[in-house]
Amino acid sequence: MKFAVVVFPGSNCDHDAHYAAEQVLGQQAEYIWHKETSLKGADVVILPGGFAHGDYLRTGAIARFSPVMEEVRRFASAGGPVLGICNGFQVLLEAGLLPGAMLRNRSLKYQCEHVIVKVEQTDTPFTNACRPGQLLRIPIAHGEGNYYAEPDMVAQLERRRQIVFRYTSAEGTATDASNPNGSVANIAGLCNEQRNVVGLMPHPERACELALGSADGLIMFESAVRFVADGARRDYSGTAAAR
């Protein structure tokens, strides 16, 4: 199977994602320059971390208009699995492929540390190999990861089980102290209603080998491989209401 890693001018985690897919997992991976208009037959699309277009104006605000995004939108609406990591998550928010927006971290600091995130939902292409409630130790590195949505939207996200990851303590409790950026409801990552588009601020691609301090992120890539290998492209879109 093939991973496409989109490269915007200013992306800087594209190589990490490519490495995780190709070197660690042994899958095919291809860079897709943001001006391209084809995803070249990829099975999974990754929007990597970095500072696309310098993060000018707002994070992800200009990247959303890159030509490749039309193709990403088409791929996503056809049920294709899309993962936005950090800046890639911000791009998905600006593009409207995921709901909500990012604010400056409440600390006003660029937060760069390992955090604990809890897997709240396992019926997504990027968490299906996880145990419900599994805790992952993954690094974050961002200045604007303070997730915001109106209270009604947050309630809807809860109801539709779209909150995929939450920042928690080592015991798995979502406390204020374990929230590194002020995100509403400790949200670290979420999915769309169809569950095939997932975005998160932590960097699973930087936690795929023990030499990097943690290999907890690998399970997200393994989930994607499993999702695609299942052939019929498991459709999770009907599961939200079912539970």
Partner 1 sequence: MRARVFVTLKPSVFDPQGKTVTDALHTLGYAAVRDVRQGKYFELDIDARRADDARALAEEAAHKLLSNPVIESYRIEIVDEVVA
Choose among 206, 199, 239: nearest CA to 76.
Answer: 199
The nearest distance, CB 201 to partner 1, in angstroms, is: 16
User: What is the spatial distance between Cα 42 and Cα 17, in angstroms, rounded to a whole number?
Assistant: 14
- Would you count residue 155 as binding partner 1 (CB under 8 A)? no
For partner 1, the closer CB: 2 or 160 = 160
Please name the residue that has the structure tokens 């890693």.
Answer: 5
Among 79, 148, 233, 239, binds partner 1 (CB under 8 A): 148
Determine whether 34 is an active site residue: no
The nearest distance, CB 142 to partner 1, in angstroms, is: 14
* β-pairing verdict for 111-119 and 135-142: antiparallel
The nearest distance, CB 184 to partner 1, in angstroms, is: 10
Among 104, 114, 137, 160, binds partner 1 (CB under 8 A): 104
User: What is the spatial distance between Cα 230 and Cα 226, in angstroms, rounded to a whole number?
Assistant: 6
Please name the residue that has the structure tokens 């019929």.
Answer: 232
User: 102: which 2 tokens?
Assistant: 């990012």
- Would you count residue 182 as binding partner 1 (CB under 8 A)? yes
User: 142: which 2 tokens?
Assistant: 């961002």
Asked if residues 38 and 75 have their Cβ atoms less than 8 Å apart, the reply is: no
- Would you count residue 94 as binding partner 1 (CB under 8 A)? yes
Please name the residue that has the structure tokens 């193709």.
Answer: 71
The nearest distance, CB 103 to partner 1, in angstroms, is: 7
Determine whether 191 is an active site residue: no
Residues that bind partner 1 (CB under 8 A): 57-58, 61-62, 65, 93-94, 99-101, 103-108, 146, 148-150, 182
Residues serving a catalytic function are 86, 203, 205
